[in-house]
Amino acid sequence: MITLIRKAALYAPEYLGVKDILIGDSRILKIAEEIPALDAYDVQVLEGEGRLIFPGFIDSHVHILGGGGEGGFHTRTPEIQLTDITLGGVTTVVGCLGTDGTTRTMAALLAKARGLTEEGITAYIYTGSYQVPVRTLTGCVMDDLILIDKVVGCGEIAISDHRSSQPSREEFARIVGDARVGGILSGKAGLTNIHMGDGERMLSYLRYVAEETEIPPSNMLPTHINRSGRLLKDGIDYARTLGGYVDLTTSSDPDFLEEDEVKASIGLRIMLEQGVCGCQITFSSDGQGSIPIFEKDGTFRGLGMGKVTSLYREVRDAILQEQVDITQALRTVTTNPAHLLKLPAKGRIAPGCDADLVMVDKDTLRIQTVMAMGRVMVQNGTVVKKGTFE
Catalytic annotation, residues? 286
Q: How far apart are CA 205 and CA 210, in angstroms?
A: 9
The length of the chain is 390
Q: Which H or E element spans position 340?
A: helix 335-340
Which amino acid is located at 27 in the chain? R
Q: How far apart are CA 188 and CA 305, in angstroms?
A: 30
Give 183's strand partners.
Answer: none
Q: What share of the chain is helix, strand, coil (3-state, %, to 5)?
A: 30, 30, 45
Give 76's strand partners.
Answer: 68
Is residue 104 within 8 Å of 136, Cβ to Cβ?
Answer: no
What does the DSSP assignment read for 280-322? GEEEE--BT-EEEEE-TTS-EEEEEE--TTHHHHHHHHHHHTS
Q: Which of the 8 DSSP states describes residue 195? A: E
Q: How far apart are CA 371 and CA 3, in angstroms?
A: 11
Q: How far apart are CA 209 and CA 244, in angstroms?
A: 11
Measured CA distances, 145 to 22, 138, 335, 375 (Å) = 35, 10, 22, 29
What does the DSSP assignment read for 196-234? E-SSTTTTHHHHHHHHHSS--GGGEEEE-TTSSHHHHHH
Is residue 375 within 8 Å of 385, Cβ to Cβ?
Answer: yes
Is residue 95 within 8 Å of 124, Cβ to Cβ?
Answer: yes
